[in-house]
Amino acid sequence: MPDPGSAGRFGEYGGRFVPESLIPACAEVEEAFRQAWADAGFRRDLNRLLSVYAGRPTALTPAWRLSAELGVTLLLKREDLAHTGSHKINNVLGQALLAKRMGRTRLIAETGAGQHGVATATAAALLGLSATVFMGEKDMARQELNVHRMRVLGAEAVPVTSGSRTLKDATSEAMRYWVTCVDEAYYCLGSVMGPHPYPWMVREFQRVIGDEARAQCAAELPAAIPDYVVACVGGGSNAAGTFAGFADTKAQLVGVEAAGGAAIADGRVAVMHGHRSYAVQDEHGQILEAESIAAGLDYPGVGPEHAHLHDIGRARYVTVTDDEVLAAVRRLARSEGILPALESAHAVAWVIRAAEGGELPQHATVLLTLSGRGDKDTATLLEVAR
């Protein structure tokens, strides 16, 4: 998984499709990131924060009972144990440090489920920056707890009332807002999407998941490398970070999308939110609203590197339904005592289906990134239970 070059291309995907007004800002972020990433001092500062603040390395937990039930060896990479409860903190600490290095005083972000918003509010508080987080009104209603967390942390949470009032509209609004304050604000994008260098930069900040997991698998598995590496995909940052650690191995990479918003399974090539990739659209090319019980996965597009990995056959992308996801939440909770985020439960649901359906060979070894914890989803689960 290489450096996408100055044009930011992953095969035919990626690029920088933004208004002329934002081009200098994107170029400045790219230049700053290239310098920072090559700077041992920056890497040291980031690694220290990841270690003493975010709680890295996160554990690799064998799912003992579920593995026995399914006849496979399932290892969980526990991003749910990272500070703020999801993998989002890895990327945000990296970008917030970069923003400081660039002399910026404010972070702008978009958020769907609220996890990226909470992570951004957290990093802003830690580093003495202010934060403005755009969130669809619909997502705000179903993730009230995270909205409150952001505000307690000192961030401004701005409801977005346009379009479908979800993540895609929050992303558009954050980009519009960025234009108005590029000189003092840094756009802290939450996934492997947006204009170059974001898809690449976010993958690099998330590759800590894959690198750690690879070393942990080497200690845990006789063959060192798992047969399958599985992660859920909305924009796809936890999957991109996980896959990056195993790209040069023979492990089969599997990305799991929500059936109601499957950009790769059901989408077509699109140019949206600064990059070319796949997105779900109607017959006239209008982007459709995606539906998923997980607010973080109802984004109708996907990061450009995933589109490329799909095209070249290095990763495959599958879908699971909301019902399968809910069943997976209960099963993991009751067999392992771990309540996964609804997003992460997509990956669990596919492993259960593939193992029980015979698609996974007996004794297959599976690494699954549990991208976040399910506390934020208890209101949704309660509603479903009623």
Mapping DSSP to helix (H, G, I), strand (E, B) and coil, where does residue 270 land?
A: strand
Question: Using the rule CB under 8 A, which residue among 52, 222, 284, 313 binds another protein?
Answer: 284
Q: Which is nearer to another protein, 85 or 136 (CB)?
A: 136
Which is closer to another protein, CB of 20 or CB of 337? 20
Binding flag, residue 351, another protein (CB under 8 A): no
- CA atoms of 87 and 205, how far apart (whole Å): 10
* Binding residue (CB under 8 A) for another protein from 17, 69, 145, 225: 17
As separate numbers, helices (DSSP H) first and strands (DSSP E) second, the chain gives 15, 14
Catalytic residue list contains 28: no
| Token duo for residue 126 | 């830690």
Give the shortest CB-304-to-another protein separation in angstroms: 13
160 binds another protein per the rule CB under 8 A? no
x-marked contacts with another protein along 26-65 as a string, rule CB under 8 A: ----------------------------------------
Q: Does 184 bind another protein (CB under 8 A)?
A: no
280 forms part of the interface with another protein (CB under 8 A)? no
Catalytic (active site) residue 88: yes
Please give the residues from 209 up to 228 whose contact with another protein meets the rule CB under 8 A.
none
Q: If residue 13 lies in a helix (H) or strand (E), which one and from where to where?
A: strand 13-17
Q: How far is the CB of 196 from another protein (least distance, A)?
A: 10
Q: Does 168 bind another protein (CB under 8 A)?
A: yes
Contacting range for another protein; rule: CB under 8 A; set: 22-30, 103-111, 204-212, 327-335: 22-30
What's at 9, amino acid-wise?
R
Q: In angstroms, what is the minimal distance from the CB of 319 to another protein?
A: 22
Separation between Cα atoms, residue 135 and residue 117, nearest integer Å = 8
Least Å from the CB of residue 14 to another protein? 11
Q: Between β-strands 315-320 and 252-258, what pairing exists: parallel, antiparallel or unpaired?
A: parallel
Judged by CB under 8 A, does residue 270 bind another protein?
yes
Match 């995270």 to its residue by tokens: 146
Joined tokens for residue 54: 């975010």
Is 19 among the residues that bind another protein (CB under 8 A)? yes
- List the catalytic residue out of 191, 277, 344, 371: 371
With tokens 């898809």, the residue in question is 199
The one-letter amino acid code at 130 reads: S
- How many residues bind another protein (CB under 8 A)? The answer is 32
Q: Taking a C-beta distance cutoff of 8 angstroms, is the pair 344, 232 a contact?
A: yes
Catalytic pick among 77, 88, 138, 376 = 88
| Residue from 155, 272, 280, 325 in contact with another protein (CB under 8 A) | 272
| Residue from the set 53, 159, 163, 221 that interacts with another protein by CB under 8 A | 163
Applying CB under 8 A, among 2, 7, 357, 385 the residue interacting with another protein is: 7
Distance CA 130, CA 120 (A): 10
Q: Give least dist CB 369 to another protein, A.
A: 29
Give the range of 266-274, 316-324, 337-345, 353-361 binding another protein by CB under 8 A. 266-274
3-state secondary structure (DSSP) of residue 340: strand
Measured over the CA atoms of residue 216, residue 222, residue 225 and residue 227, the dihedral's sign is negative
Q: Beta 130-136 vs 106-111: how paired, if at all?
A: parallel
Strand, coil or helix: what is 350?
helix
Residue 360: which of 259, 235, 230 has the closest Cα?
A: 230
Instruction: For the segment 91-150, give every residue that binds another protein (CB under 8 A).
Output: none
Rounded CA gap, 375 and 84, in Å? 11
Of 90 and 164, the one with the shorter C-beta distance to another protein is 164
Contact between 247 and 3 under an 8 Å Cβ cutoff? The reply is no
Alpha-carbon span 82 to 118, nearest angstrom = 13
Can you read off the two tokens belonging to residue 156?
A: 């401004």
Amino acid identity, position 50: L
Stretch that binds another protein, among 10-18, 126-134, 248-256, 369-377 (CB under 8 A): 10-18
58-90: b or e for each residue (b if 16 or more CB lie within 10 Å)?
bebbebeebbeebebbbbbbbbbbbbbbbbbbb
Is 250 among the catalytic positions?
no
Indicate the helix (H) or strand (E) that contains 289: none
Catalytic residues: 88, 110, 371
Q: Which residues bind another protein (CB under 8 A)?
A: 7, 15-25, 162-163, 168, 172, 175-176, 179-180, 182, 268-274, 284-287
